[in-house]
Amino acid sequence: MDLGGCVRPTLDGAVLVDIEVQPGASRQGVVGFNPWRNRISVAVSAQAVQGRANRAVLAVLQAQLGCTANETTIVTGHTSRQKTVRLESVPMVDLVHRLTKVLEAVEA
């Protein structure tokens, strides 16, 4: 699985990850990779009302990728299902490895 297009470094050492969100889902977590949109699919049970889904997305990514709340922020797509999340203090190689492990577990 090639995640190179949806995971990219920034000049200051952070990593940007393109995701698509499925709010109001029956389960929460990273649920796959959409090769057509080149985005990681993240399902959350929270509805997209008053930022609840955005907070849930960050919580899911923090839990599954081993990041802290201070290291994760949504930089684009606050009112869209397609978002870009910034992860700080995580080297890109480590992040790609963690994402690959999570996605392999989902597909198994």
pLDDT tens for residues 51-105? Answer: 999 999 999 999 999 999 999 999 999 999 999 999 998 899 999 999 999 999 9
How does DSSP classify residue 85?
A: E
What's the angle, vertex CA 30, arms to CA 23 and CA 103, rounded to 5?
155
In this model, does residue 25 exceed pLDDT 80?
Answer: yes
CB 85 within 8 A of CB 57: yes
Q: Which of 16, 88, 41, 98 is nearest to 65 (CA)?
A: 98
pLDDT greater than 70 at residue 2: yes
pLDDT band at 6 (very low <50, low <70, confident <90, very high): very high
Whole-number pLDDT of residue 13:
92
Banded pLDDT at 1 (limits 50, 70, 90): low
CATH number of 7-107: 3.30.1200.10
* DSSP β-ladder status, 72-76 and 15-22: unpaired
Global pTM reads: 0.92
The secondary element (H helix, E strand) that includes residue 104 is helix 92-107
Query: To which residue do tokens 């907070």 refer?
Result: 55
